[in-house]
Amino acid sequence: MLATLVSEAFDRPGWVYEEKYDGYRILAYKEGSRVTLLSRNAKDRTESFSEVAAAIATLPDQALLLDGEVVAFDRRLVSRFQLLQQGEIAQVYAVFDCLYRGGVDLRNEPLSVRRAAVEEAIGDRDRLFPSRRLVSNGLKAFEAARRKGWEGLVAKDPAAPYVSGRSTYWLKVKVHQEEELVVGGYTPPAGSRSHFGALLMGAYRGRDLRYVGKVGTGYSQKLLASLHKTFQPLVSGKPPFVLPPREKGAVWLSPKLVAQVAFQEWTADGKLRQPVFLGLRDDKKPEECLLPKDIP
């Protein structure tokens, strides 16, 4: 079940408001002692998030299906996708839904029932916790999220069933600007930088991949080397963008990779202002990276 993005905070009586996490969306299947963690696009993440899988394996229910986000928190308890990518901070699982428990399919039950099942199922375990609920007023919840530096919030209808796909039963509001974008090429390194200078990013409008800017910050030396190696099989003789930028010495790539990018704002001509690379995502497809409708 996916949330629909809305442009500004709102208050809807009776709805609940939760922290929006910056991590990997994961469905957790428990069958006896066996646990399987699957990403949005059905990739097996059990080994990648083995600590989370081990924690779920200790739960008393023999059959369980949970929905949530694997995250890593900084010192201020703000989830950071970069920290999760680096793998140096403990992975934890923020659980916000329960689809199956004790032989009962809960998807047609209201969220209020499913949330109670989450809390009963996971109890008090290391690396597992129910997603954080905010105050009942949506505008005040948004202000709290902004004050704490969270990525945003998700508003949910507590009477709604679990519906696969994108739904208006769940609405998300962003505090910080982040987008998943397609990597379409890179510029040559300059100065002391090695491997490459900046990534050339795009987003789709219909079938056209539109260039939205270059991202030159957010890389360690180790990451530069790792990304450069990843790019080599994708090197192409022609740009993937409909209107490619005029970048001397640019190396074009087949549009197969998705990166998460933080930025200050969209400019009037549809480019990113002050973008920072956060990491590659293999749980998103390039064609899912769409240019926002309000961007010219």
Report pLDDT digits (tens) over 119-159.
999 998 889 999 999 999 999 999 999 888 888 999 999 99
Portion of the chain with pLDDT greater than 90, in percent: 80
**Cα gap 68→49, rounded to integer Å:** 13
Domains of the chain from N-terminus onward: 1-19+134-175 (3.30.1490.70), 22-130 (3.30.470.30), 177-288 (2.40.50.140)
What mean pLDDT comes out for the span 164-186?
93
25-82 pLDDT, tens digit per residue, is 999 999 999 999 999 889 999 999 999 999 999 999 999 999 999 999 998 898 989 8
Least confident among 114-123, 155-164, 188-197: 188-197
Q: In this model, does residue 264 exceed pLDDT 90?
A: no
Catalytic positions, please? 20
**Among 43-47, 81-85, 97-101, whose mean pLDDT is lowest?**
81-85
- 117 Ramachandran zone, left/alpha/beta (phi>0; psi -120 to 50): alpha
pTM of the model: 0.79
